Each structure stands twice: as structure tokens, then as C-alpha cells.
Amino acid sequence: MILIQRNSIDQFDRIFRINFINSLPGFKSTNLCGTVSKKNITNLSIFNSVVHLGANPPLMGMVVRPLSIARHSLENILETGHFTINHVNDKIFKKAHQTSAKYPPEISEFKETGLKEVFSDRIKAPYVKEAVIRIGLEFKEKIEIKSNESILLVGEIMEVFLPKKVLKSDGFIDIASAQTITSSGLDAYYKVSKLSRLSYAKTTRSLTENNIF
Amino acid sequence: MILIQRNSIDQFDRIFRINFINSLPGFKSTNLCGTVSKKNITNLSIFNSVVHLGANPPLMGMVVRPLSIARHSLENILETGHFTINHVNDKIFKKAHQTSAKYPPEISEFKETGLKEVFSDRIKAPYVKEAVIRIGLEFKEKIEIKSNESILLVGEIMEVFLPKKVLKSDGFIDIASAQTITSSGLDAYYKVSKLSRLSYAKTTRSLTENNIF
């Protein structure tokens, strides 16, 4: 075991520090966020910061750095009030990663990467056809994080597309069977394999394995 | 493909809805948060909502539901100004899950689960000895999410313990080799296997694989 203290972190080379700090939270959700601009140009951007916020109402959060390329997504969401979240799977992760390149706003990442856009009647934002699990959201709240001027964007879940077979009898979605992948740091991608699904923890009984898995 | 619209989600049975909505963000970070109370009782709680916020200054966020058992962690963090984040690995995930049981504040989850606490000189919060990657943080900001009264807690990274061999030459941490696991929903745990680490995406060149992986 080595100990790395704060003064060392501050002295790291910029890229070394970014790689290091981005590895610390653990594995990350890996999603493509679809939006459309006022000029009707679609935008697609990879995000590894989507988190669950609550089930009732159904809410998701997403951290956006306002000076990053992700600001195009943010601008579009604030203008249209809608965005989509599309799970990245092992067939599309390279195309998904390519969306992080700094394309100008007049160019659609769909066209550049070859991922196909598909629309529903209710959400004014494109879904990714190749994504197995797709979520349509309505913009709800923009929260400034004062410590570094990043933004937590809150969206309310309006609709979900998924294959019937991955939805289990208790509401659990088998996202591993939908080939959803995970990531670490800024650029490392991983497949998953099932360990166990555990029972609700109580102080008065031992855990058991849940076979709805 | 099936389409599940918002009115159906609102009509789901409560447990079905919680399982469903918790599965939607994708794979989650899986960490144990260590804290200590004013009365010097240690607390340990599993969190699947830790996210990267920024590298300079090095910041992490964590979503806390104030009415959940996690409020003990929140109270302790606000009182002491410190907390630890410890990666959950495949050897300790059952003990980690058990920390979500509703133990009263006078009982330490370390004692109940058998996980061992270990302290550093600088952080007033216990680390988990069995965790391979451990991060010590100082409380920075408490942000209320108005949409559902949950809280985003922001911490500044003060120190990191990790095995030398998992820290790569460019700052990337090989958390898969440290046996860090991921999770989905409320209770499903997964091991990971490497797919690829990709180059920085540019509009003018194709992606290549990074062999520092």
C-alpha cells in the first residue's frame, strides 16, 4: 500500500491528475445523451456521470462540466426541455467514445459516428437505435455546484424503451443481459459478469441470494 | 422492444417501481462510506451514488436520501467534516450490503459485519481495512436537490491509499485488478472484465487502443 497525499495530487502533471482522480469513484454508468438544438441539429454525447436520484417521482441526475464539449448537450436541454439517456453496450462503445471529440455544433455526432437516431412522439430529442435500453427525460432542475462550477442536471423519467425479456418479475432490469457496459476513468471500458443479487438487508436475519437474476 | 410510459411507472407497485427506476442509470460505483459520530461511534454505509465532480481541486460527490439510513453518515460528516470512501471488492460485497440494514446509531456496522476499521492521522473517519482502494475526504458543500429533497454531498479528496502496482504510468488506476466491483439496481453485484482503453477522441483521427490497461 502506498499513501498519496493532497500536496502530491496538486503537484501531479495535469493529465496524470485527471486520470488518477477520475479513477477514484469506482465503476461508472456509461450512457449516450441525445439532444437536439434550436436549429434542429441532433447532438450525441457520452456521459459517465448519470446517477439515480429517486424513484417517486422517477428522477435521474447527470453532472455536466460547463466548459467541456458537454455544454452543447446542456444548452440543447435547456432550450428544448428534453433529453434521452441511452445505455452504451459492447457493440457501440467505440462509436460512443468518439462522441467526446470536439465536433462543432453544426455537425451531428450521429452522422459522424454512424449511430442511428430514432424519435418517439413525446420526447423532443433523439434516441440511439443501437442502444438496447433507452430513457426519455424531461428537464427538471439545474443545480450549480459552487466548489468547481460544475452543474448537476436533474431529469424526470417520462418513458423507457427496453426488451421485454430483460424486465424481471419484481421490476429489476437485467442490464447485463442487455449488454450494457461500465467504464472507469475517462476512457476504460469493461464488460460485467454476475456475482449475486442479495436480499433486503435487515438487522435481524442473514442475507440470502435472490434468484431473480 | 416494449415502451413503458410515465403513467404506467406511477402506477407500479412501490417495490417494483424502486427496482425498475434504480436499474435505469446503468452500472453504479459501489463504495463503503466510513464516518464517526460525536459520541465516537464509527459508522459504515454502502453507497452506489459516488460520482466524479472534478480533478482540480479533486472533488467527489455522493447523493444522500435524508430519510434513509444514510442520514447517519450525513449527520456524522456534517459534525466531523470528514468521511472515507472505500471501494467494495468481491471478497466483502456481502458484508458491504449488510451495512444497509437499519442499525441504530449506537451500534457500529464495523462490529456487526466484521469489517475492520483502520485510521490515518489526518482524517477523522474510519477506513475499511479490507478495501484495496481507500480515499479520505474533507466535507466541502451540501447541496439540496429541490425536486425530491435529496442531497448532493461534495467532498474534497485529501489522501488516497492504494497498492503501488494498480497505479499506472499515466495516473490511471487499474481498479479491476484491485477487485473493485460494480452494482446495478439496489442489490445486484457484478465483477468486471476489461474490454478496451481508448485514446483521447479527436475529430481528425481514428481512435486507437491504449495499452496502458
- Measured in angstroms, the CA of A23 and the nearest CA of chain B are apart by 6
Chain center to CA of A191: 16
pLDDT tens digit string along A22-33?
999 999 999 999
pLDDT for B170: 98
Cα gap B180→B30, rounded to integer Å: 8
pLDDT for A85: 98
Q: Which of B184, B186, B204, B205 to mutate to test the interface with A (most CBs of A within 10 A)?
A: B184
Is B151 in the A-facing interface, judged by CB distances under 8 Å?
Answer: no
Q: Which of B21, B44, B95, B157 to mutate to test the interface with A (most CBs of A within 10 A)?
A: B21
Cα gap A63→B142, rounded to integer Å: 15
pLDDT for B68: 79
pLDDT for A94: 98
pLDDT for B69: 75
- Measured in angstroms, the CA of A38 and the nearest CA of chain B are apart by 23
Q: Say yes or no for a CB contact (<8 Å) between A25 and B202.
A: no
pLDDT tens digit string along A34-45?
999 999 999 999
Is B83 in the A-facing interface, judged by CB distances under 8 Å?
Answer: no
Q: Which three cell numbers stand for residue A114?
A: 454512424
pLDDT for A21: 98
pLDDT tens digit string along B46-72?
999 999 999 999 999 999 988 777 789
Chain center to CA of A172: 18
**Residues facing A64 on adjacent strands:** A151
pLDDT for B66: 80
Which of the four pLDDT bands, split at 50, 70 and 90, describes residue A78? Answer: very high
Which of the four pLDDT bands, split at 50, 70 and 90, describes residue A15? Answer: very high
pLDDT tens digit string along B71-96?
899 999 999 999 999 999 999 999 99
| A70 has a pLDDT exceeding 80 | no
| A69 has a pLDDT exceeding 80 | no
CA atoms within 13 A on the CB side of B176: 21
Which of the four pLDDT bands, split at 50, 70 and 90, describes residue A170? Answer: very high
pLDDT for B150: 96
Chain B residue whose CA is closest to A142: B145
Mean pLDDT (whole number) for A7-21: 98
Instruction: Enumerate the residues of chain A whose CB falls inside 8 A of the CB of residue B23.
Output: 171-173, 175
Query: What count of other Cβ atoms lies within 10 Å of the Cβ of residue A152?
Result: 23
Mean pLDDT (whole number) for A47-72: 92
pLDDT for B67: 79
Q: Which of B139, B182, B208 to mutate to test the interface with A (most CBs of A within 10 A)?
A: B182
Is A9 in the B-facing interface, judged by CB distances under 8 Å?
Answer: yes
Is B20 in the A-facing interface, judged by CB distances under 8 Å?
Answer: yes
Mean pLDDT (whole number) for B8-13: 98
Mean pLDDT (whole number) for A196-203: 97
pLDDT tens digit string along B155-198?
999 999 999 999 999 999 999 999 999 999 999 999 999 999 99
Which of the four pLDDT bands, split at 50, 70 and 90, describes residue A65? Answer: confident
Is A40 in the B-facing interface, judged by CB distances under 8 Å?
Answer: no
pTM equals 0.97
pLDDT for A68: 79
Tell me, what's the ipTM?
Answer: 0.98
pLDDT for B8: 98
**Burial (0-12, 13-18, 19+ Cβ within 10 Å), A71:** middle
Mean pLDDT (whole number) for A78-98: 98
Mean pLDDT (whole number) for B8-36: 98
Cα gap A82→A76, rounded to integer Å: 8
Question: In this structure, which long-range contacts are made by residues A201-210, counting pairs with CB atoms below 8 Å and at least 24 apart in sequence?
Answer: A201/B97, A201/B98, A201/B99, A201/B100, A201/B101, A202/B101, A202/B102, A203/B101, A203/B102, A203/B103, A203/B112, A207/B94, A207/B97, A207/B98, A210/B187
Q: Say yes or no for a CB contact (<8 Å) between A170 and B15.
A: yes
pLDDT for A71: 85
The residue type at B36? V
pLDDT tens digit string along B107-164?
999 999 999 999 999 999 999 999 999 999 999 999 999 999 999 999 999 999 999 9
Out of A53, A161, A188, name the one closest to residue B213 (CB).
A188
Cα gap B185→A135, rounded to integer Å: 15
Q: What is the percent of chain A where pLDDT is above 90?
A: 97
Q: Say which residues have a Cβ less than 8 Å from residue B205's Cβ, sequence separation at least 6.
A: none
